[in-house]
Amino acid sequence: MEIIIGLEIHVEINSQTKLFCSCPTHASIPNTATCPTCVGFPGSKPVFNKKVLESALKLCLALNCTIAPEVIFSRKTYFYPDMGKNYQITQYEMPLGSKGQLALSNKTIGITRVHIEEDPAALIHQGSVVLVDYNRSGKPLCEIVTEPDMNSPEDAREFLKRLITILHYLHIFDIHEGVIKADANISIKGYERVEIKNITGFKEIERALTYEIERHKKLVSESKGITQRETRGWDADKGITLFQRSKEEEADYGYIMDPDLVAIDVTEGMIEKTIKELPELPAAKTQRYIKDYKLKKDDAEAIANDYDLAQIFEHATTKVAPLFAAEWIRREVARVLNYNKKTLDETFIPEQIIDLMELLNTNQITRQTGQRLMEKLASTDISVKKYIQDNNLLIVTDTKAIEETCIKILKENQPVVQDYKKGNEKALNRLVGLVMRESRGKADAIKTTELLKKHIK
């Protein structure tokens, strides 16, 4: 069964003020960042936020979109408690960007359109009571609609991760406080599609898609299948989708051009200026890492497609060899983050990793010591250099001291020595490990190996 998935992603653009008024986008007390325009009072007039256009244009160009010659807004009419004026101002007839693409590791996902629209208010459910907070109403959004080019939940998750990385590079999305929601359209080839509304978070999108795929497969195996389009909601607590309504068609929304907003020209000068302001994006950065630093493709992609890792790597290359920096960032940082189930910005690694790699690169500490310190930086704010001095962790290069430890280990572990003499090379590694443990990881591994071989008779 061929699975077909397309996404509609709503990204909250990082802006000081709302899309069509001067109300702030951040307020902690409900219904305090409001005015007649964003609440939707009759007679109020919207005024377009130029900064949002600049941010949206960056995103369109980063996704390789064709840019529309002008910005035109429409009214999408529907009744819902979070829509005070009973319509949403959005782009319909002519999106700002169209026919773009975003490359994944094994395929390219087409971008149907990228357009600007306003966020509705927020509904707050308290038992049998529903409250409305209009602070969110009018916040600027970009909607990214993909082609149905994804074939698994894993594809969807990778697409979203790469999209957020681009947003991070462009600095148009608050990675810590910004909101990304996705509507997922899913079908089995030959049957109607189902839309899952308003899923938040990578993990939840993957869970929702996985559940819905299995539900579709079960219906097909029972010779039922999906025969009509429908919209379903995702219940994260129960891990299931629930029927909401039959799917509306675009004609049901009664789009009309908004008479309160004039068309805005998108000039060649604006496009050229924006192109010059674009940062080096992950795809180009990957190629540069491969060409200039001789990184393996997998390492280059993994680092370039994580904004924080890329920043650390580029800083590290001014202090240590690029291949050495890439190995530690790609392997050890990833290992520590995965084990602790943390993101990089939740640790103290970024502040101290350059010092740590310098000490490793100049053979002042052993790899084992470096690994232990990396683990400590996942949760503890320490100065790496001071911690090493205070705990006497600098590598032992004194041949006499290492030799004494080697002799001691050989005397205490004769069965392992005899095993090595019989040709078992792994036995030597065991002896080296015992010396390293005895020296608390401070003995020079190369000298240790040489001295052990010298004293094994």
Residues 6+ apart with CB under 8 A from 344: 306, 308, 309, 312, 333, 337, 350
Say if residue 107 is in the same domain as residue 149.
yes
Work out the burial of residue 210: count CB atoms within 10 Å of its CB; fewer than 13 is exposed, 13-18 middle, 19 or more buried. Answer: middle
Is residue 199 scored above 80 in pLDDT? yes
Range of weakest confidence among 106-110, 243-247, 331-335: 243-247
**Mean per-residue pLDDT, 301-314:** 93
pLDDT for the residue 456: 85
The domain boundary, picked from 390, 417, 435, lies at 390
Is residue 250 scored above 70 in pLDDT? no
In a domain, 120, yes or no: yes
Structural domain boundaries enclosing 422: 399-455
pLDDT band for 399, please (50, 70, 90 cuts): confident
Is residue 48 scored above 70 in pLDDT? yes
pLDDT for the residue 454: 83
pLDDT for the residue 175: 84
In a domain, 217, yes or no: no
In a domain, 369, yes or no: yes
Please work out, in degrees rounded to the nearest 5, the angle formed at the alpha carbon of residue 124 by the alpha carbons of 118 and 128. Answer: 140
Average pLDDT across the chain, whole number: 91
pLDDT band for 444, please (50, 70, 90 cuts): confident
Say if residue 88 is in the same domain as residue 149.
yes
| Model confidence, pTM | 0.84
pLDDT for the residue 397: 66
Is residue 363 scored above 90 in pLDDT? no
Is residue 398 scored above 70 in pLDDT? no
Say if residue 380 is in the same domain as residue 421.
no
pLDDT for the residue 396: 67
DSSP per residue over 143-208, as a string? EEEE-S-B-SHHHHHHHHHHHHHHHHHHT-S-TTT--EEEEEEEEETTS--EEEEEEESHHHHHHH
Rg for the chain, CA atoms, rounded: 29
The total number of structural domains that make up the chain: 3
pLDDT for the residue 247: 64
pLDDT band for 249, please (50, 70, 90 cuts): low
The domain boundary, picked from 227, 259, 274, lies at 274
**Mean per-residue pLDDT, 296-317:** 93
Say if residue 10 is in the same domain as residue 134.
yes
CA 85 to chain centre: 35
Bridge partners, 75 (sequence order):
89, 256
pLDDT band for 234, please (50, 70, 90 cuts): very high
In a domain, 209, yes or no: no
Is residue 372 scored above 70 in pLDDT? yes
> Which of 284, 83, 300, 62 has the alpha carbon at shortest distance from 173?
62
Say if residue 312 is in the same domain as residue 363.
yes
pLDDT for the residue 375: 92
pLDDT for the residue 265: 96
pLDDT for the residue 97: 98
Say if residue 76 is in the same domain as residue 170.
yes
Give pLDDT tens digits for 160-170: 999 999 999 99
Give pLDDT tens digits for 129-147: 999 999 999 999 999 999 9
pLDDT for the residue 343: 85
Bridge partners, 143 (sequence order):
10, 115
pLDDT > 70: what percent of the chain?
A: 98
**Mean per-residue pLDDT, 362-366:** 82
